[in-house]
Every structure is written in structure tokens, then in C-alpha cells.
Amino acid sequence: MLKAPDHQVAGHRARDGKLGPLIDDSGRFYKPLQDSERGSREVAFYRDFSTNAEIPDCIRKFFPVFYGTEMAEASDGSGLCSHLILQDLVSGRCSPSVMDIKIGSRTWYPEASEDYIEKCLKKDRKSTSVSLGFRISGLQVFESKESGFWKPGKKQVSNFTPEDVRLVLRNFVSSNPSVDSKNPNCSLVHSVYGGSSGILAQLLDLKAWFENQTIYHFHSCSVLMFYEMEKLLEGRASVVEIKLVDFAHVVDGKGVIDHNFLGGLCSLIKFISDILDGSDESSAKACNLEPEKKLISTDNGHKQ
């Protein structure tokens, strides 16, 4: 009864005999616990979070529902293995446009091994994580029934520059998406990013929580943004959502806010606000910070 999800845009895939998540037809998402520490850390997070009375409902809705763990046939044919059972976020969605954005300029954390830290740091520097405070991990944008989705490949996504990211965030709300055409029409920008229940409003609610919460630090965690273009065009509401996913590297906040996640989230918010304001193309303000070559000659009349 289990099958590979249709609308996964990032992470390991349960295809070609590989280990990856599966879904059933009742709206559940089966995430295999491959590496024991990561897997068990993610289970620990869901257990703690799902029973933590301090999480307000307006924040809890941004997280997938957790149904426990369960043994199930692994997608790679290796037999039964333990799976996290979660809400399938796009279950029942019609041709959803989806983007996975890994938040934070730093995906590593002091408690991790030196090998892991080095690997993460390298990737953070190579991608836009260090420069922008977030990186796009994957996406698909629905174009039309005829042409289907625009879904750039893994390699292309991992090479996104800051300029690409700005363009892709515009493409995500366009009916003519493609990173090669530099003129996405942004036809859906107000219904997807704007309004009182749009993505910007939801990100701002999340930000307000992160300014205060000191329970968890989320490393390598993603914001998933998704919407259904066809339903939007029919004028239906509540089809634009954000969710947080991937909690294999959540650690105890120890009374300190998650400044790394918050900083990246604020940067994403600014990108989306700029697009909404239509000011994204003029936002790179001129400034002249090149070190001066001839300092001596600008001194006030003294001689060396």
C-alpha cells in the first residue's frame, strides 16, 4: 500500500531501490530512521514537541502532525525498518507548487562531530546559506496541465547564486516559471505571498515565536512553502501554507533564542517583502566600501 511521494522536492528519494520516505493513501508520510542518531533525535524532537504544553496552537499548526513510529517495509527492499509516521503535508493537494528552503546561515552546531561540522561548513559556504542566511533545497512550480511542473534538477538547485534565489522566489509565484527566462510574471504574488493569510503573514507569525522561544535550536531545518495554483485561480482560500520539516538536528535551546534560525528567517522575509513591494530589483543599494588606496593623500595637511 506504500508508495513514493509524488511531490517531494528535496532529501533522499525512495526510487530506484534507494531508501526514502513513503506515503500511504490515508494521508500519512513514512520517514525511515536510517542513521540511528539522526533518526532517534528526530523521534525525540517529535515526542517532546507533540506533548509540550508551551507550544501555542498558532505555532503548532506549522509542524506536521506526528503519529508515532512504526515498523514498515523499507523502500530499498532491505526489510522492515523503523519509520516516523507523520502527516503527509501535500496529501489530497492538486498539483501543488512546493519549495523547500533550509533556514540558517549555519547548519552545524557545537555538539556535532568535527567531521560533520566541516562537511556542513563547506556546504554552507558553497551554497547561499552563509551569504543569505538560507538556501533553496528544491522546488517544483506548476505551470499548466499541459506542461506540468517546472522542477530544476538537484545539481542546478545546489548551484543557485543569491541572484538565482531572488529570481526563483519570483518564479515560484509566476505562471511562466523558468530560471532561464529572467522575466517571471509574478502573476500570483499577491495571492501567494501577500494578504492576511499568505506566506509573508505566516512567516511573520513564525518570526514572532522565534524571537521568544528558547526551547529548541533548529539546525538544518526547512521551511516548506506550498500552494495550489488551480484552486487559487478558482478563488478558493486556505491553500497557501508553510510548514517546518526535518528535525534530525534539533538540540536543546538552553534558555537562548535560536538566533541562527531567526536571522535566516528574517532574511527570507525581507526577500519576500521586496518581491511583494516590487522593489526587489532596486534593493541592492549603492555603497562604496572598497578600501581606499591612497589614504595618506587624504589626510588633513600633515606630512609623514
Q: Which of residues 190-229 bind a second copy (CB under 8 A)?
A: 211-212, 214-216
How far apart CA 60 and CA 244 sit, in angstroms, is 10
Please provide the size of the chain in residues: 304
Q: Is 169 in the site for a second copy (CB under 8 A)?
A: no
Q: Is 112 in the site for a second copy (CB under 8 A)?
A: no
Using CA atoms, how far residue 149 sits from 169, 174, 195, in Å, is 15, 12, 25
Q: Is 72 in the site for a second copy (CB under 8 A)?
A: yes
Nearer to a second copy, 25 or 252 (CB): 252
By CB under 8 A, the count of residues binding a second copy is: 75
Q: Of 3, 18, 60, 68, which one interacts with a second copy (CB under 8 A)?
A: 68
Nearer to a second copy, 155 or 254 (CB): 254
What contacts 182, CB < 8 A, 6 or more positions away?
Answer: 167
Q: Over 133-146, what HEC string results?
A: CEEEEEEEEEEECC
Q: DSSP class of residue 172?
A: T
Q: Is 52 in the site for a second copy (CB under 8 A)?
A: yes
Q: Of 61, 162, 181, 182, which one interacts with a second copy (CB under 8 A)?
A: 162
Pick the stretch among 19-27, 57-65, 139-147, 291-299 that binds a second copy (CB under 8 A). Answer: 291-299
Contact 17, 145 (CB under 8 A): no
Using CA atoms, how far residue 113 sits from 110, 118, 248, 258, in Å, is 8, 9, 14, 20
Q: Is 33 in the site for a second copy (CB under 8 A)?
A: yes
Q: Is 145 in the site for a second copy (CB under 8 A)?
A: no
Residue 113 grid cell: 562531530
Q: Is 302 in the site for a second copy (CB under 8 A)?
A: yes
CA 124 to chain centre: 14
What is the pattern of x (binds a second copy, CB under 8 A) and - over residues 241-260? ---------xxxxxxxx-xx
Nearer to a second copy, 117 or 232 (CB): 117
What contacts 61, CB < 8 A, 6 or more positions away?
Answer: none
For a second copy, the binding residues in 80-109 under the rule CB under 8 A are 80-82, 105-106
